[in-house]
């Protein structure tokens, strides 16, 4: 099992592999991490079979490494995502993402009456539940849950 996984990611020399992304969150992950704006080599696969997720997606990024605070942002849409850090074709480190305590930007507040949807300002949330992600808006104090996430 372990061997298969390494084989699958061995295509890149150095970089990061993000695995176990729910297939329907792939493009959200790309958008949150700004992968559509970088020039590095990127391979991704989607609608792959997964026992855990049904259908999953995977992203392989050459010469890209993330800080925890940046990669943790994807926990909102891919809470079970796993990272393999590749150096010289070897997996040197494995990481899981963790939902942060606070979120700035990324998601819109779902309350249409919220000031963040009217004026130019960055949304800010306190994470009040991590398993089923629920965000409390710092401004209007209303809850936006993961089912209603609209990525900015």
Partner 1 sequence: MKGKSLVSINDYTKDEYIKILDLAEVFEKKSVQNILQGKVIASLFFEPSTRTRLSFESAVNKLGGKIIGFSDTSSSSVTKGETLYDTIKTVSNYCDLIVMRHPLEGSARFASEITNVPIINAGDGANQHPTQTLLDLYSIRKTQSTLDNLNIFMVGDLKYGRTVHSLLMAMSKFNTTYNFIAPEELKMPEEYKLFLENHGLKYYEHRDFTDIISKADIIYMTRVQKERFTDPIEYERTKNAYVLKNEFLVNTKENLRVLHPLPRVSEIEQEVDMNPKAYYFTQALNGVFIRQAIITSILGLI
Question: CA 31 → CA 4, 65, 106, 138, distances in Å?
Answer: 29, 16, 9, 23
With b for 16 or more beta-carbon neighbours within 10 A and e for fewer, the 9-30 pattern comes to beebebbbbbbbbbbebbbbbb
**CB-CB contact of 56 with 21 (8 Å):** yes
Q: Does the footprint of partner 1 cover residue 137 (CB under 8 A)? A: yes
The piece of 10-18, 33-41, 64-72, 139-147 that touches partner 1 (CB under 8 A) is 139-147
Min dist CB 76 to partner 1, Å, is 20
Given candidates 1, 2, 7, 118, which one binds partner 1 under the rule CB under 8 A?
A: 118
The piece of 70-78, 81-89, 94-102, 135-143 that touches partner 1 (CB under 8 A) is 135-143
The piece of 20-28, 36-44, 51-59, 110-118 that touches partner 1 (CB under 8 A) is 110-118
Given candidates 70, 101, 102, 141, which one binds partner 1 under the rule CB under 8 A?
A: 141
Question: CA 9 → CA 19, 84, 87, 133, 149, distances in Å?
Answer: 10, 8, 11, 29, 30
Q: Which residues make up the interface to partner 1 (CB under 8 A)?
A: 111, 113-116, 118-121, 137-143
């Amino acid at each position: 099992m372990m061997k298969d996984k390494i084989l699958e990611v061995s295509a890149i020399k150095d970089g990061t592999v993000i695995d176990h992304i729910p297939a329907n969150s792939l493009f959200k992950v790309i958008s949150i991490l700004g992968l559509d704006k970088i020039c590095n080599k990127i391979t991704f696969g989607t609608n792959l079979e997964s026992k855990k997720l049904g259908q999953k997606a995977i992203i392989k990024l050459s010469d890209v490494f993330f800080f925890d605070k940046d990669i943790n942002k994807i926990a909102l849409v891919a809470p079970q995502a796993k990272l393999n850090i590749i150096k010289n074709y070897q997996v040197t480190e494995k990481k899981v993402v963790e939902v942060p305590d606070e979120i700035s930007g990324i998601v819109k507040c779902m309350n249409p009456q919220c000031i963040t949807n009217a004026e130019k300002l960055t949304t800010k949330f306190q994470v009040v539940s991590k398993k089923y992600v629920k965000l409390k808006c710092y401004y209007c104090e209303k809850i936006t849950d993961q089912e209603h996430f609209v990525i900015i």
